[in-house]
Amino acid sequence: MEASKSRWYSQLYVQVLIGIVIGGAFGYLEPQIGTKLQPLADGFIKLIKMLLAPIIFGTVVVGIAKMGSIKEVGRIGVKALLYFEILSTIALVIGMIVVNLVKPGVGMNINTNALDGSAIGKYSQIAQEQGGTVDFLLNIIPSTFVDAFAKGSMLQVILLSVLMGVALVQMGETSKPLINVIDLFLQGLFKIVAMVMRLAPIGAGAGMAFTIGKYGVGTLLSLGQLLIALYITTLIFIAVVLGAVAKWSGLPLMQFLRYFKDEILVTLGTCSTEAVLPRMMEKLEKLGCNRSVVGMVMPTGYTFNADGTCIYLTMAAIFVAQATNTPLTMMDQIVLLGVLLLTSKGSAGVAGAGFVTLAATLTTIHSIPLVGLVLLLGIDRFLNEARAVTNLIGNGIGTIAIAKWDNSFDVATAQREIAAMKEEKSSPQVLVPQK
């Protein structure tokens, strides 16, 4: 007997959701053991990260090589950067408006002299090591070809990928055997990703157990207003701004969320968008986006299109000012917005990227006390869940939008893929007797 439809509990998103619930309950009931489960989550993320560099390299190289035109590469790049800057600015402005309306830090009356700044020392040190714009641009160039892959630097890998893709285009027909080899290697990597993703429920559950076990539910109460404000703001941004973009692209928001529910839940549990990047790229291609657009836009968006992080940055910075009774004029906030437009692009891929970026920003403008970041340490993991999920959804929709803008998105293919997913989900289990 053979089942044509797998049972509901075999679906990855169901298993991930169960893992998150069990992990959260375990972290609450057994916090000491829950905090020791973090290596399981870290191990899952590392398994995915080891595949990122070759997958990005292969996808971009094959996409550009099959595109056959260097001008198309430049056109997609310009459109992507323009889209990223517009959406990032909107996210920063929305965060600033909400935090000024809700005022979650007003009334806390925190004395900065009483705060222990040693707890944020490592973050401020990393922020200082990031350097300025010139250093950021120079760091895109790897020391050697292999060094980019060894470090797993996303922008460096993208640079090498674009250069290799352009070189293969110029070689013409003679490059086809190499392109086919890279393409075949890429398919093998995606098979490995499919195997690793079966561990996603364990990784997500362990990550949630660590979060609840280490910080506890009690930490949510003291800064609950900021948490609620951030979560509501990100939901509004997703529903209104990204919803409008998705509708224009030809794929309604709810269809997008249902199609990528596995990846969204894994990101929620692990607080890592990198853990699902290969799967996102593979599914976006199946959805009808051109491979070259997916390969260039999706990985680059992880650095330049962090919508959730942008919302967090403005809300967290002004929250610290409100909590420490630091007066900010409208001009001060405009300057803060301008600095964040630059610093929000530079810390992707760094552990605690949002917190590092915030530290770098406050170090630059000096109008908000850096030591005030201590207030956010206890709930940063919970804040990170909201910004990571928003970043993931924003980059997925952004890739589709840019593909649509470039006439490289097949809406008919997307609808067929969505319909096939619905049919698979709704069809009852049928037992077919073997002949």
Q: Distance (Å, rounded) from C-alpha 51 to C-alpha 2? A: 34
Instruction: Tell me the backbone φ, ψ of residue 289, rounded to 5 degrees.
Output: -85, 140
Which residues contact residue 431 at a Cβ distance below 8 angstroms, ignoring those fewer than 6 apart?
A: 1, 2, 3, 4
Tokens found for residue 169 = 């285009």
Query: Domain 7-78+86-430 maps to which CATH number in 3.20.19.10, 3.30.300.30, 1.20.120.330, 1.10.3860.10?
Result: 1.10.3860.10
pLDDT tens over the chain, length 435 residues:
444 445 666 677 778 888 888 888 888 888 888 888 888 888 887 888 788 788 888 888 887 887 666 777 778 888 988 998 899 899 999 999 999 998 887 776 666 665 555 555 555 555 555 555 666 677 778 888 888 888 777 778 888 888 888 888 888 888 888 888 988 998 888 888 888 888 888 888 888 788 777 766 665 565 778 888 999 999 999 999 999 999 999 899 999 999 998 889 888 877 778 778 888 988 998 899 988 888 888 888 887 788 888 898 899 888 888 888 888 888 888 888 888 877 776 544 444 567 777 777 777 777 788 777 777 776 777 788 888 899 999 999 999 999 999 888 988 898 888 888 776 665 544 444 443
Q: Distance (Å, rounded) from C-alpha 319 to C-alpha 297? A: 32
10 Å CB burial of residue 316 (0-12, 13-18, 19+) is buried
Region of 289 on the Ramachandran plot (φ > 0 left; ψ -120 to 50 alpha; else beta):
beta
Write down the pLDDT at residue 117: 53
Write down the pLDDT at residue 398: 93
Write down the pLDDT at residue 233: 93
Is residue 316 within 8 Å of 374, Cβ to Cβ? no
Tokens found for residue 426 = 């709704």
Using the Cα atoms of residue 29, residue 33, residue 36 and residue 37 in order, give the sign of their dihedral. Answer: negative
Greatest extent of the chain over all pairs of C-alpha atoms, in Å = 80
- Other CB atoms within a 10 A radius of the CB of residue 407 amount to 8
Which residues contact residue 249 at a Cβ distance below 8 angstroms, ignoring those fewer than 6 apart?
A: 397, 400, 401, 403, 404, 409
Indicate the domain borders of the chain.
Answer: 7-78+86-430
Is residue 264 within 8 Å of 419, Cβ to Cβ? no
Reference 403, options 250, 221, 198, 192; nearest CA is 250
Q: Distance (Å, rounded) from C-alpha 67 to C-alpha 12? A: 34
Q: How many residues does the chain have?
A: 435
Q: What is the dihedral of CA 150, 282, 166, 172, to 10 degrees?
A: 120
The strand pairing partners of 65, in sequence order, are none
Q: Distance (Å, rounded) from C-alpha 199 to C-alpha 196? A: 6
Reference 236, options 104, 99, 95; nearest CA is 95
Which amino acid does the sequence have at 92?
L
Write down the pLDDT at residue 102: 87
Q: Distance (Å, rounded) from C-alpha 159 to C-alpha 165? A: 10
Tokens found for residue 261 = 């529910």
Q: Tokens 């290697």 sit at which residue?
A: 185
DSSP type of residue 2: E
Is residue 370 within 8 Å of 363, Cβ to Cβ? yes
The strand pairing partners of 2, in sequence order, are 432
